[in-house]
Each structure stands twice: as C-alpha cells, then as structure tokens.
Chains A and B, each alone.
Chain A
Amino acid sequence: DTAVSQTPKYLVTQMGNDKSIKCEQNLGHDTMYWYKQDSKKFLKIMFSYNNKELIINETVPNRFSPKSPDKAHLNLHINSLELGDSAVYFCASSLSGTQYFGPGTRLLVL
C-alpha cells in the first residue's frame, strides 16, 4: 500500500549510458514532480506534471526527459549519463498543495 513508489532504489551505471527511473503513486493525485538531491543534500525541483501535462521544466539539461503515460505515473529518462548526474532523485505527488515523496533513487555514475 505504498503511496509513492520508485524503481529502482539504487542505480549504478557507466558514463554515457541511458537509464530510466520509474515513479508511481496510488494516492489519486493530479500533480507529480521530480526533484534532485545533490551530494550536499540540497533539493531542487526538476519537473512537474499535472494530469499528464508538463507544467514546470526547470533549467535541466535536455538529456533528462520526463514522461507521464497517465496521471499515476511519471518516469524520468536520462540519456548520455555524466558523472555530475550522480545524485538522489525523488519523485513526489500532490493534491491541494501538500507533496508526498517517494523513497528516492540513488544514482551513481562511474
């Protein structure tokens, strides 16, 4: 009965590879987000979708592409991974202003 789930939990990969992170919420929320937490634990918004429509796209390299097949899912695809992409990526969903976060995906690029 997990509210916001992400897969995988850990992801170790080589530079230049392409990888995807999946996010699903069973809360019936309309809005979903991706945040990045860097090595200093600073959290920053990357994207937001509302009812499958992109509404926030912060200054993120276009190697990062979110996709929302339905309002319960928001996946993040990353092309040509770089060392600086190593971070924890959090998915969140919200209704009426309060955001609930997934457990995070710890990405390490070697």
Chain B
Amino acid sequence: AQSVTQLDSQVPVFEEAPVELRCNYSSSVSVYLFWYVQYPNQGLQLLLKYLSGSTLVKGINGFEAEFNKSQTSFHLRKPSVHISDTAEYFCAVSDSLSGSARQLTFGSGTQLTVLP
C-alpha cells in the first residue's frame, strides 16, 4: 500500500513569484508519481508524471517536479506563477508493478492561490 502527504493545504503566492508545492510518499514497492491540477468545478488534468528515467520531469504550463527517491519526495515547482495557476493541486502515487491495477492514491491536495 502507498500513502501520500501534501504538507501544505494552502499556498498563497504573489503573481510572478516562484512556488513549490511539497509532496512526500511512502511505499514498499517502486512507484509511479503524478501531479494533477483541478480548476474550480472542473475535472483533474494531468500536469506531469514520473514513470522512469530522468528524475527531473517537465510538465504543462511551465511546471516541473523532481523525484527524490532517498527523501521519498516529488515536489512541484514553477519559477513564475500566473493568476491562472490558481487551482487545487494533487500529488498521486501508484505502484509500478507489472500486471497491477495501478490504482492511484492521492494526497489531500494543496490550494494554490496566486495574488495580484
């Protein structure tokens, strides 16, 4: 079984400032890691994913995340945020085992609010 902890439930930040949303996970097996974004009253959109390979992954809208196996973290970063980035961000993990259903276990979400 896996678990995900998003350390900050709310992150306010001024427009054009950098932001980091923190995510830590625990798992007894190797994992896949994801960040999803949910805009108000909308569905979940995939921002980026780590399946294998380079630990620094780039996603849509200028976001990137770094997989750190020793610290079991997958923090999301953006160097300069826009008002339109205001949304709820979810970190999620699944196991990477072949034949597994690979259900996602989600963190509790981080509300990013970009202030003018």
Contacts and interface: CB of A to CB of B under 8 A. Distances in A.
A37 to B, nearest CB: 9
Interface residues of B, number: 25
A96 B100 CA distance: 10
A98 B88 CA distance: 19
Interface stretch (B16-24, B53-61, B63-71, B102-110): B102-110
Interface residue tally of chain A, by bracket?
Answer: 20 to 34
A31 B94 contact: no
A76 to B, nearest CB: 16
Nearest to A91: B43
B46 A98 contact: yes
B106 A97 contact: no
Interface string A88-104: 00101010111111111
Contacts of A94: 102
B44 interface: yes
A101 B103 contact: no
Given A43-B106, A97-B96, A90 B44 contact: yes
A31 B101 contact: yes
A90 B101 contact: no
Contacts of B38: 41
B36 to A, nearest CB: 7
Interface stretch (A11-19, A48-56, A59-67, A77-85): A48-56
A92 B51 CA distance: 18
Contacts of A50: 101
B51 A97 contact: yes
Interface of A: 31, 33, 35, 40-45, 48, 50, 55-56, 90, 92, 94, 96-104, 106
Given A43-B44, A43-B90, A92-B44, 4 more contacts: A45-B105, A50-B101, A56-B101, A102-B43
